[in-house]
Structures are given as structure tokens and as C-alpha cells.
Amino acid sequence: MSLDIHIVPILSDNYVYLARDSESGKVLCVDPGEAAPVLAKAEDLGWEIDTILITHHHGDHVAGVKTLKAATGATVIGPGGDSQEIPGLDQSVADGDTFAFGSETFRVMGVYGHTAGHVTFFAEGDKALFSGDALFSVGCGRFFEGTAADMWPGLLKLRELPDATRVYCGHEYTATNVAFAASIDGQNAELRRYAEIVAVLRSEGMPTIPANLGLEKKINPFLRADDPAFAEMHGFKGQEGVAFLAHIRAGKDSF
């Protein structure tokens, strides 16, 4: 059970993912905000796309679906419960669902707040999480359609996943996320070490993705909103969790 995952950069800072199940040879694509670069990459690899996974309805994640579906006949799987319909949706999924993809099993995990029905996809065998705009490296998505109270239970669920989980998120936001995190968590030695790695990768034009969830648990401030010492440091003694998460998000929004 393993996935061979390739990153397809599109637009200004979005990532689409192409993943091939090594046993069945089936290929999926995650959040095609454009079709042409994805089709070109699949052709380079000699891969035929069977399945399209969608995390949420925003255009930079779905605008390529119709063209890609027409070109490949792929099945589109996404959240039936998002606030706007996913184009071309064939199979509606929701939090707690699982589905097979070749030898791999995906678990659907709802993480709400960026959009009302945003889902993430966890490959249980390969331990890869396609997190869309719910969780970024050292960040989380803006609360466009919800609040910290909506987002926090989802982040807690993601935090339960194994440390070895590789996080494949929807955008290359890591450098700015690290700068913000350093501004509120400057004494975090592992964050400082990661900041150096990110700076080198970005200076070479390399993606910082996938992120490692075990490290994210230690350096991503949004995953640490219930850390009592961290909350107290920012005047949120006894208000760790939702209230402190809202404070961190507001800080990032105006960073």
C-alpha cells in the first residue's frame, strides 16, 4: 500500500496533487484548480486519472474539474455538504466516510470553517493527508464560512493522526506562516530550525510540502491552541482552545 505522489504547482501558489496507487496503478488528482497543467503532468508520467478528489468549493480548487473530467472520464468525489455545489460531483462524501482507492483506503475527515463543508482525505495505508485549505504547514485556513468553534474540533481530529503523516495542503504558504508563527512563538527552537529549512527550500524554488504532522503538532500555532502555557503567554490563561484559536487566527489575518 503506497502512493506515488507528485506535486503540480498551479496559479500563484496552489498545489494540485497527482497520486498513483502502486498496486492497482489507479491515479487520483486532488483539487484541480486548473486542468491543463494537470493533464500535461499526467501525460509526462504516463498516468491516466481515474478519480478527482475535491476538498472544498473554492474556484482555485475546482475550476479545472469539468475539463479534466471531460478529458479523462474520472469520477469526482467531494463534499456534498459544502455551501456551494462541487462541479461535476459524482460521489458525495462526508465526515467519517471511508472509501477504497485501489489498495488504499481513504478516510474523509470534515474540518469546517474555511468553508462550511470542507473535507480532508487521509490515506490510511500511506499516511498521506490531503488537507486542502483546512491545514497548511504552520497554518490553517481563514475562517470564511465559520468560526474558531467550527474549526477547532476538526483540527483536534487531524492532530489525532499519526506523527508520520505527510501533509499535502492546498497552498505554498509556509514561509509567511512561519514568519507569523515566529512572531508569537519566538522561543520555539523547532520552529526556528524549520524556518531555516523553509528559507533554503524557497530560495531554491522548492516546495516545502509535504509537511510532517509530528513536527506540525509542535510548531503549528493553530494545532497548539489548547496549550495552556502558550495561551497564558498571550494573555489567554484558562481560555485555551476555541478562544485562543480565534485570537491566533485574528492575529494572522492582520499579519
Catalytic residues: 56, 58, 60-61, 114, 133, 171
CA distance 79 to 10: 22
* Distance in Å, CB of 61 to Fe ion, minimum: 6
Considering the rule CB under 5 A, would residue 224 count as an interface residue with Zn ion?
A: no
Q: Which of residues 127-186 bind Zn ion (CB under 5 A)?
A: 133
Considering the rule CB under 5 A, would residue 58 count as an interface residue with Zn ion?
A: yes
CA distance 211 to 168: 7
* Distance in Å, CB of 58 to Fe ion, minimum: 5
* Distance in Å, CB of 31 to Fe ion, minimum: 8
- How many residues does the structure list for the chain? 255
CA distance 127 to 106: 10
CB closer to Zn ion, 86 vs 182: 86
CB closer to Zn ion, 132 vs 221: 132
What cell was used for 23?
498496486
Binding footprint of Fe ion on the chain (CB under 5 A): 60, 133, 170
| Closest C-alpha to 158, from 142, 175, 172, 137 | 137
One-letter amino acid of 123:
A
Name the one residue in this structure whose C-alpha cell is 494545532.
223
**Binding partner selected for residue 154 from Fe ion, Zn ion, none, CB under the kind-specific 5 to 8 Å limit:** none
Binding site for Zn ion (CB under 5 A): 58, 133
